[in-house]
Structure 1
Amino acid sequence: MTELDITEVARRSGVPASTLRFYEEKGLIASVGRRGLRRLFDPDVLERLALIALGRAAGFSLDEIARVFAPGRRPSIDRKMLAAQAEKLDRKIHELSAMRDSLRHAASCPHPNHLDCPTFRRLLQGAVSGGRSARRKRAPRS
């Protein structure tokens, strides 16, 4: 397959040309030349962009994703990093599930005033204590 210009890469990947230029600046992708003013890319850039999109969707930063792409070789994905991110996602899923359940309760609560509902009050207390414990668990800023 022949080289793809930036417009074609943007069309096929769904990634705007401005983002492709930014990714190139960050070292995540590399153009292989130019046709006039347009950057040219090897077709395997589409696979790399798919990996970047997957990493972003999983919550990895661009700097973390960049470490996966060592120059001149295939991506090397750190399995410990993946496991740690999966743990973070599990915690976030748990938090979001609890929030969803709280909202559903509040939406269907039979009490005329939410503050009269013992379940809603328990949810409020959990939100306050959960917020405090989350603040305590954060690493100190340097």
Structure 2
Amino acid sequence: MTALDIGVVRERSGLPASTLRYYEELGLIRSIGRNGLRRVYAGDVMQRLSFIALGRHAGFSLEEIGAMFAPDGRLSIDRDQLMEKADGLDKRIKQLTALRDGLRHTAKCSAPSHMECPKFQRLMRMAGKNPLRGRDAIV
């Protein structure tokens, strides 16, 4: 098994060393020792980091991702949880598609003012019903 220094893992993954240390603190990855003061990881750490990145892109929390690892370190993914997340993504895609289409319409709308455009008014009502919640804002 190839051992990778934290600097190599940082370079290959594009993650800062602080994130790697944080993931280790959460139990998502493990160092196998030290080379001087630098952490050293097993060669499979890159695969684990790829899985973590995939989970984050899909909208899973780090806690949820951590729960997908069995105590022996192998993946143990709940298929129902994946389906639930996929259903949520479908809903989000529909919402974003409607938002995109509304914005395009508003950009081309011939109404004298955006405030006079019925489609823009609907977009504003939808946004008012779903206040912004950071990057997870739903319109």
- Considering the TM-score relative to the shorter chain, is it more than 0.5? yes
Distance 2:63 2:42 in 1: 22
> Aligned pair count?
130
Structure 1 stretch displaced more, 83-92 or 114-123: 114-123
Deviates more, 1:72-81 or 1:55-64: 72-81
Gaps of 5+ in 2: 131-139
Cα separation, 1, equivalents of 2:30 and 2:127 = 46
- Paired position in structure 2 for 1:139: none
Normalising by structure 1, what TM-score? 0.84
Q: Cα offset for 1:112?
A: 1.3
Most deviating of 52-61 and 102-111: 102-111
- Measured in 1, the distance between the counterparts of 2:17 and 2:127 equals 42
Asked if 1:93 is matched to 2:93, the reply is: yes
8 Å contact from structure 2 (residues 6, 40) kept in 1: yes
Report the counterpart of residue 140 of structure 1 in structure 2: none
Where do 1:111-126 residues align within 5 Å?
A: 111-126=111-126
Amino acid at match of 1:64: E
TM-score w.r.t. length of structure 2 = 0.86
Partner Cα separation in structure 2 for residue 4 and residue 122 of structure 1: 54
Alignment correspondent of 1:54: 54
Residues 75/114 of structure 1: CA separation in 2 closer, same or farther (3 Å cut)? same
Quote the offset at 1:121 in angstroms: 3.6
Q: Deviations over 1:69-106 (max 9, x none)?
A: 12224111111110000011111111111111111111
Is contact 2:106-2:117 (8 Å) kept? no
Runs of 4+ with deviation above 6 angstroms: none
1:104-141: CA deviations, max 9, x gaps?
A: 1111001112233344344444545xx17xxxxxxxxx
Superposition CA RMSD, Å: 1.6
| Whole-angstrom CA distance in 2 between matches of 1:121 and 1:35 | 61
Q: Is the contact between residue 33 and residue 41 of structure 2 (CA under 8 Å) also seen in structure 1?
A: yes
Q: CA separation of 1:71/1:106 partners in 2, compared to 1, >3 Å: closer, same or farther? A: same
Gaps of 5+ in 1: 133-142
AA at the equivalent of 1:15: L
Cα offset, 1:38, TM superposition: 0.5
Q: SS of the counterpart of 2:31?
A: coil
